[in-house]
Copies of this chain bind each other. A is one copy, B any other.
Amino acid sequence: MNDGTVTTARPIASSLLERYRTVRAATEALVATLSAEDCVIQSMPDASPVKWHLGHTSWFFETFVLAPNLPRYTTPDPAYRMLFNSYYNAIGEKHPRPQRGLLSRPSLDDVRAYRAAIDEAMATLLRGSASGPIHALVELGFHHEQQHQELILTDLKHLLSCNPLKPAYAPRPRAARGGRPNALDWVEFDEGVAEIGHAEPGFAFDNETPRHRVYLGRRAIATRPVTNAEYDAFIADDGYRRPELWLSEGWDWVNANHIEGPLYWEPRNGERRAFTLNGVQPVLAAAPVCHVSLFEADAYARWAGARLPTEAEWEIAVDGLPVEGHFAEDAVFEPLPDARPTARLRQMFGDVWEWTQSAYAPYPGFRAAAGALGEYNGKFMCNQYVLRGGSCATPRSHIRASYRNFFPAAARWQFSGFRLARDL
């Protein structure tokens, strides 16, 4: 982190503690209505129990901030060092990821007590004269915690979807309405050298750096993401049964897993319905399609005579645009239509993460941080693809133009949609 992450300039200690409390409170608000049972189960190896997220985010502050920096700090429970280690080999032993759901102890109450103890120690630390490097680590902890806020929602959604009772996490708000479909429009971009990557000031993860030049050809970017109605037309046109539309690995994936539509969509029986965090609901025709894999996004694009944008194309397109869209704070927990005219780029941020065609790779000159935090991003740069822009489950303050999210091509349990591009 010391090397690899660009940090805020001169944060003020008092406000840092305030921000700490805000971030931590946001996590707890998300889980306030959940039972201990909701929080303990792991529904698949890719997902983690909510309780584990609660513990791991505290472990992060403990391991990287408190233990090295707060004099005489002692952990509430030494066993947590292993239990809540996600993937940091440099920290030592880890409880195996697929077995995170086997832990009825520590209880949810124990983990809440652990959070409280960490919060208290952090308050002690942040009230003191913490140095700039410590501030950078705390800032990293904020963004780390926000990533897990999103995962709490997506992992919980997957868990509840496995339950035949199809329980809702929250009632559907009135905001979730159909809206009118907007025509798809395109914005054109010229050929030439451009720059992408994080530019100071402000926080960024190491994988967003260094800022560097790229050469891009002439292209057009769609003004809005592909909608549920459009995606349904792809299905109706036998999109899932035509091998010529698919990457070879995608075609194998479709057939091996009997894929017939986005994750959480129910088989058509009259009106389209899907499982959401608000229970089973009608699919909103004008909202961006989500819970699709890169394979599906790519096949749709081929069907539509277009392609997915690269991450560089996406980042340059978004240059100067405000961070607008539906985020976790809106508490809708599903992407919504954007009713405004689409002559300009809309919904680049929020609503759905947008698959790009870019494999997740180091930027030229990338250097991972020294030590354990160097494992944060760099070691995953293989067989994953970049998504951009955040989703309805992402905290608004977490996202920015240079932000790179990444998942394997077959992953679908994030709020992942896509937008088209084409060569000119």
Binding site for B on A (CB under 8 A): 35-41, 43, 79, 82-83, 87, 89-90, 95, 99, 101-108, 159-160, 162-165, 167, 193, 212-217, 243-244, 246-251, 294-295, 298, 307, 357-359, 361-362, 364-365, 374-375, 379-383, 409, 423
Chain B's nearest CB lies how many Å from the CB of A326?
27
User: Could you say which residues of chain B place their CB within 8 Å of the CB of A104?
Assistant: 35, 37-38, 40-41, 159-160, 163, 167
Beta-carbon contact of A423 and B248 below 8 Å: no
Chain B's nearest CB lies how many Å from the CB of A382?
5
Beta-carbon contact of A357 and B364 below 8 Å: no
CA distance A214 to B164 in the complex (A): 49
CA distance A164 to B83 in the complex (A): 8
Beta-carbon contact of B35 and A107 below 8 Å: yes
Chain B's nearest CB lies how many Å from the CB of A168?
10
Q: How many copies of this protein are present in the complex?
A: 4
Beta-carbon contact of B357 and A361 below 8 Å: yes
Beta-carbon contact of A163 and B249 below 8 Å: no
Q: Can you list 17 A-B pairs, Cβ within 8 angstroms, ordered by A?
A: A36-B36, A41-B41, A43-B102, A103-B163, A104-B159, A104-B163, A213-B215, A215-B215, A217-B365, A247-B382, A248-B375, A248-B382, A295-B382, A358-B361, A359-B359, A364-B423, A365-B423
CA distance A104 to B249 in the complex (A): 29
* Closest B residue, CB atoms, query A89: B243
CA distance A223 to B216 in the complex (A): 30
User: Could you say which residues of chain B place their CB within 8 Å of the CB of A40?
Assistant: 37, 40-41, 104
What are the 7 A-B residue pairs with the smallest beta carbon separation, nearest first? A359-B359, A89-B243, A37-B104, A215-B215, A102-B162, A248-B379, A38-B104
User: Could you say which residues of chain B place their CB within 8 Å of the CB of A365?
Assistant: 217, 423
Known contacts A95-B164, A99-B162, A193-B215; decide if A250 and B382 are in contact (CB<8 Å).
Answer: yes
User: Could you say which residues of chain B place their CB within 8 Å of the CB of A217?
Assistant: 212-213, 364-365
User: Could you say which residues of chain B place their CB within 8 Å of the CB of A248?
Assistant: 87, 375, 379-380, 382
CA distance A105 to B216 in the complex (A): 52
